[in-house]
Amino acid sequence: MVVSESQRKAAEAQGLANGARSLEEQAAGLQSVNPEQARYLFAKARQAYLDVAQAYQDAVKAGGTEQEKNNWTHSLNLYVKKARALAPQPPPRIAVRQGGGSETIDDAFEIKPEKSDITFAQVAGLDSVKEQIRLSIIQPMKSPALYQRLGLKAGGGILLYGPPGCGKTFIGKAAAGECKANFYNVKINDILSKYVGESEQHFNAVVESATKNAPSIIFLDEIDALAVSRDSADSSHTTRLVNQILSSMDGFASQADKPIFWMATTNRPWIVDPAIRRPGRLDKTAFVPLPDRAARRKILELNTKAELVRLGPQDYDLLADSTDGYTSADLVFLTKEAKQIILKEVTAEGKPERPAVLNDFQIAVSQTKSSLLPWLNKAKAELVKSGEISEYPDLIALIKKYSQAN
């Protein structure tokens, strides 16, 4: 039997319809268990139904008998209806507000500007990162007039990269606290996964709010998520969002009276789109390293300020010595583990309260380990594959020092 072009298209539409229905079923099944994932799948099913309708339209256009055309038109209308039924109801509303407020909006994408109360004093070590942030963000924000007189453009941004748990997000918040800027904490993954198709709209709302409330820092946390999903089925969403981010960076860099600064973070700089790192965009890069001995000591101190857990100076020295290779987050975790020892004694074993001693922390050290190694091994493999080894000497040094032989 000869299959006409229009019949071929109709068969294709039927195949697409099966896929769309199964997506809708999956979404329905997930609704009570994982509403976020369900919403995501409903959005995909909706798009899939639209694709089906398009395929039937193509079939009608390609010809066929009157009977066939009637059937396909009927199907076309049916699938448009199905797509409509899956339109988000009510459409997600965007609420970007200053300082909270009483309005509650279900399902709203909401990024409120944060007023950070963290400052550089609470960030142990990372002196060169602080210096770079001071030069390129804090100073221009504090003295825009000087920058104008020097003919220097305020704006641009910094890409912070480095192993997980070493303070990238933390220092971003501290930067905002230092210059009392509004801090827009945009986790790329949240934008992408929750709001397929609406990512750019939400991103725009953030930029608009940041402009209105300038000076602001727009913090794009875990920006590699953009690259990761570019390989996936949703690549067009991601590409559109990347373009939106690029044009926002270009457009706002020049407004000296309303400076917006960009900061972004990643553990995998080698997969970040090079276009995002061009001049005027995230044109500076800062490596956020593992805490050195002095920083480890300070992080331990900062996290043991409460009455029962303060240690002596030599205790901190010893602990700093025995935690080489720990990330900052590992150290915070270690102090929690030590505190748990006392908590358990008091609550579960009915023992009296007592101040913590070095031994509690040493037990915690023996029970915890650095989270760096598994990451380093993975990073090493990716970096080698990317062919960009020479661009990241800091990481290579870290890998050389700590990585286990494979």
Ligand X SMILES: Nc1ncnc2c1ncn2[C@@H]1O[C@H](COP(=O)(O)OP(=O)(O)OP(=O)(O)O)[C@@H](O)[C@H]1O
Per DSSP, 218 falls in state E
Q: Which stretch binds Mg ion (CB under 5 A): 5-13, 53-61, 121-129, 163-171?
A: 163-171
How many whole angstroms separate alpha carbon 157 and alpha carbon 135?
11
**C-beta closer to Mg ion: residue 109 or 161:** 161
C-alpha distances in Å from residue 328, one per residue of 35, 334, 351? 34, 10, 31
- Give which of ligand X, Mg ion, none residue 92 binds (C-beta under 5 to 8 Å, depending on kind): none
Between CA 264 and CA 266, with CA 265 as vertex, the angle to 5 degrees is 135
Q: Which of 169, 182, 199, 238 binds Mg ion (CB under 5 A)?
A: 169
Residue 66's CB: how many other CB atoms inside 10 A? 7
Per DSSP, 109 falls in state B
How many whole angstroms separate alpha carbon 117 and alpha carbon 195?
30
How many whole angstroms separate alpha carbon 146 and alpha carbon 300?
40
Q: Which stretch binds Mg ion (CB under 5 A): 86-94, 164-172, 191-199, 358-366?
A: 164-172
Q: Is 185 in the site for ligand X (CB under 6 A)?
A: no
How many whole angstroms separate alpha carbon 372 and alpha carbon 238?
29
- Binding-residue pattern over the window 149 to 168 for ligand X, x denoting contact by CB under 6 A: ---------------xxxxx
Q: Which of 64, 92, 125, 156 binds ligand X (CB under 6 A)?
A: 125
- Give which of ligand X, Mg ion, none residue 155 binds (C-beta under 5 to 8 Å, depending on kind): none
**C-beta closer to ligand X: residue 49 or 170:** 170
- CB-closest chain residue to ligand X: 167
Q: Is 266 in the site for Mg ion (CB under 5 A)?
A: no
Q: Helix or strand or coil: residue 114?
A: strand
Rounded to the nearest whole angstrom, what is the least distance from the CB of residue 334 to ligand X in the complex? 11
Q: State the helix-helix crossing angle for 35-62 and 5-30, rounded to 10 degrees.
A: 170
Q: Is 327 in the site for Mg ion (CB under 5 A)?
A: no
Q: Which of 182, 267, 285, 335 binds ligand X (CB under 6 A)?
A: 267
- Give which of Mg ion, ligand X, none residue 264 binds (C-beta under 5 to 8 Å, depending on kind): none
Q: Which stretch binds ligand X (CB under 6 A): 42-50, 197-205, 209-217, 328-336?
A: 328-336
Q: Is 248 in the site for ligand X (CB under 6 A)?
A: no
Q: Is 126 in the site for ligand X (CB under 6 A)?
A: yes
Which residues within the stretch 284-313 sit at the binding site for ligand X (CB under 6 A)?
295, 299, 302
* Strand partners of residue 266: 161
Q: What is the DSSP string of 225-285?
A: HHHHHHTSTTHHHHHHHHHHHHHHHHHHTT-TTS-EEEEEEES-GGGS-GGGGSTTSS-EE
Q: Which of 75, 169, 199, 370 binds ligand X (CB under 6 A)?
A: 169
List of residues contacting ligand X (CB under 6 A): 123-126, 164-170, 265, 267, 295, 299, 302, 328-329, 332
